[in-house]
Amino acid sequence: MARPAAPEAKHRIKPHRTNGKTYAGTQTSYLDPATGKKKYRYVHWGKVDDDLKFWPNSAFFAVAPEERAKLVFPENWDMSEAEKFAAMQEREGAVCDCASEICDYACENRLFGDVWLLEQIALKTGIRQDLEKVFFEDEEIVDDIMTLAIFPLIWDRDFSGVARWQRDCKTPSSIELTPTVITRLTEAVTERHRRHLLQLRAGRLGQEELFAAESTGDSSPGDKSADWPWGQDKERRPLEQTTEVVVYAAASQMPAYYRSFRGAMADDRSLELILTDLEQAGFRNFVYLAERGGESLRNMDLLLSRNQSVMTRAETSQKETAKIIDSFGRFNVRPKEMKMDPPSRLYCCQRDIDYKVQCAGSAAKKTKKLKVNLYCDLWRRSREQLQLDMDITRQEEELNDLLTKKSVIDVAQVKRDNFYFNVVADKAAGRVVSFEQNVKEIETANKRLGFFSIVTSGVDFEPMEVLEIYRLRDEQELYFRQMKELTRSDGQSGWSEKGAAGRLFIMFVSLMLSSYLSHVWKSTELRDMFDSSLEILDEMRSIRCLEQANKEKFITPFSPEQVEICAHFGFRAPKGCAPTDGSRRKLVPKRGRPSKKGA
């Protein structure tokens, strides 16, 4: 059995010779994404000369003081250069005594505009107020969570860079958020905090909203949670997997709910728990826009048995939808029973469905207002017709080639790949004997060309209203990408179950801020002024906050563009920061006869 490593081993400085130079470094372990095995690497903190004198580098200067104090250097090394740096920091902290009346200079001069805008969004949407209720008016914890939620929207880095960012930017939190502090904070967030926040958000979003759910797989290098079974992520890295689900209010695009499920859980298995959680949080009488997988029979029976209003896409091969298409008979261009909608260039119709849900025991429950909304797109029909003819031609050429060359084949695989033909094969020899077109399969495919459908239950909308509402899912899916891209939740770095839960809580707060920011950008004239919502933050960033102890902080003036951004969000610039017309010079007309035109 190997001897356990000493606690200070990962902080012990050792000389590391590479490329003809000697560095002072610590040895850390990491998980190789290709093999899944533990490997080691050096983190260099400076150089060591032949006289054992230590020369610190930028990494040594940038790390937090409490992390720097953990480093264990050999006793015989000359640490004079590092001591000079520590003495310089102490002198810098004592240069300005703000308690004296002589000092007229600001002690802090940091960027503030982008943080200020996101703080105003948190106040307007009630996020800040809800967090204060969740944490019993503890403003320090709320300030820390707000800082961590704002950080990924401004800096494209993980939480290890928060402390460095705080030196350049004025943040809600007044303490230095080092990795150690962040770990303790995230592990303090509990399930009670999550549920309380969801209940408060339910009260703000109101009732009878349209809600859509999105889920995604997430990977983590940790192994301390029961929700992280071993698997592979989308890049085929051997990392633990979880399934993250976020429910949005489709109209306002504001996140309303989130939850993490173990492993790569199927969407239909998590639906019942999501609906139960939404009801317990206080969401009532909402319409659920189901994602792919929501149209399965198991899910539909669950939704209908709960009298849940729902909209979901349905495959044209489903029984009820196929019956409606078959009832049209043969037609040249489009069915006469379908009406034309000129703005969308679509044909549509709506049919009621007589469907019974099997309840507990042998009882059956008749559904109310279950309808199929069927649409026909002639442009789509022509494209699919072309693709169908190409597929039939390709399959025929492939079968002719196999028959001519008498190639040895996998009979079952060939039949699956060439489903538009009835293939007769000699299984013993593994060769194609003959084939002919599958007339029934081709006729069925021709009938469904250009059609798509949406099933609704518990709502009274016309077909085109249903389509417009369901298209909100397309917008919502774009916002959902922020969870992995903008808020950097893809491949979270939490190593424990408590830490992962706290990071998801902060990610949800960050997602609410970014969703509102993107929603205002898309729905106002800001979209013509900026290419993305992140450019709005870039425009606001130049505003600075000047602070001096025992005195009020001073915010630098806003430019006209920054004032216009505030107006679109419904904010006012701080008092004295907006430009005024009175400060501009007014031109006084000259006396005498006016000059001639064109002179």
Q: What is the pLDDT of residue 93?
A: 42
Query: Quick one: which H or E segment has residue 255?
Result: strand 254-262
Q: What is the pLDDT of residue 100?
A: 43
* The token pair that represents 548 in the structure block: 């001096």
pTM of the complete model beyond 0.75: no
- pLDDT class for 94, splitting at 50, 70, 90? very low
Q: Which amino acid is at 578?
A: A
Q: Which amino acid is at 229?
A: P
- Positive/negative CA dihedral, 42, 48, 52, 53: negative
- Label each residue of 129-176 as H, E or C: HHHHHHCCCCHHHHHHHHHHHHHHHHCCCCHHHHHHHHHHECCCCCCC
Q: What is the pLDDT of residue 296?
A: 58
Max distance between CA atoms of the chain, in angstroms, equals 111
Please tell me the distance from the alpha carbon of residue 87 to that of residue 93, in angstroms, as a whole number.
10
Q: Are the CB atoms for 95 and 31 separated by under 8 Å?
A: no
Mean pLDDT of 370-394: 93
Rg (CA), the chain: 32
Q: Point out which residues pair with 43 in neighbouring strands.
A: 26
Q: What is the pLDDT of residue 390?
A: 95
CA 346 to chain centre: 33
Ranges of each domain in the chain: 9-94, 119-312+461-521, 380-447
Higher pLDDT, 245 or 104: 245
Q: What is the pLDDT of residue 179?
A: 87
In the predicted model, is pLDDT for residue 543 greater than 90?
yes
* pLDDT tens by residue, 115-160: 999 999 999 999 999 999 999 888 899 999 999 999 988 886 678 8
Q: Which of 89-103, 220-234, 496-510, 544-558 has the lowest mean pLDDT?
A: 89-103
Please tell me the distance from the alpha carbon of residue 10 to that of residue 71, in angstroms, as a whole number.
9
Closest CA to 453 of 569, 575, 340, 347: 347
Closest CA to 544 of 526, 565, 559: 559
Please tell me the distance from the alpha carbon of residue 140 to that of residue 150, in angstroms, as a whole number.
15
Share of the chain above pLDDT 70, in %: 76
* pLDDT tens by residue, 49-58: 888 889 887 6
Q: What is the pLDDT of residue 593?
A: 62
Q: Are the CB atoms for 13 and 74 separated by under 8 Å?
A: yes
* The token pair that represents 13 in the structure block: 């400085």
Share of the chain above pLDDT 90, in %: 28
Q: What is the pLDDT of residue 535?
A: 92
Mean pLDDT of 187-192: 90
- pLDDT class for 208, splitting at 50, 70, 90? low
Question: Is 318 exposed, middle or buried (CB count within 10 Å of its CB: 0-12, 13-18, 19+)?
Answer: middle
Closest CA to 77 of 135, 133, 32, 23: 23
* pLDDT tens by residue, 286-338: 888 876 544 555 677 777 777 788 888 888 888 888 889 988 888 877 888 89
- Taking all residues of the chain, what is their mean pLDDT, rounded to a whole number? 80
All residues at 6 or more sequence positions from 93 whose CB lies less than 8 Å from its CB, including other chains = none
- pLDDT class for 391, splitting at 50, 70, 90? very high
Higher pLDDT, 320 or 463: 463
In the predicted model, is pLDDT for residue 488 greater than 50?
no
Q: Say whether domain 119-312+461-521 belongs to CATH 3.30.420.10.
A: yes
* pLDDT tens by residue, 435-450: 999 999 999 899 899 9
Q: Which of 12-16, 312-316, 490-494, 541-545 has the lowest mean pLDDT?
A: 490-494
Q: Are the CB atoms for 500 and 182 separated by under 8 Å?
A: no
Please tell me the distance from the alpha carbon of residue 220 to that of residue 348, in angstroms, as a whole number.
46
Q: Are the CB atoms for 565 and 540 separated by under 8 Å?
A: yes
Mean pLDDT of 541-549: 86
Q: What is the pLDDT of residue 361?
A: 57
Q: Are strands 339-341 and 346-352 parallel, antiparallel or unpaired?
A: antiparallel
* pLDDT tens by residue, 489-514: 445 555 566 778 888 899 899 989 98
Q: Are the CB atoms for 272 and 191 separated by under 8 Å?
A: no
Q: Which amino acid is at 124?
A: K
- pLDDT class for 599, splitting at 50, 70, 90? very low
In the predicted model, is pLDDT for residue 583 greater than 50?
no
Residue 322: how many other CB atoms lie within 10 Å: 17
Mean pLDDT of 370-378: 92
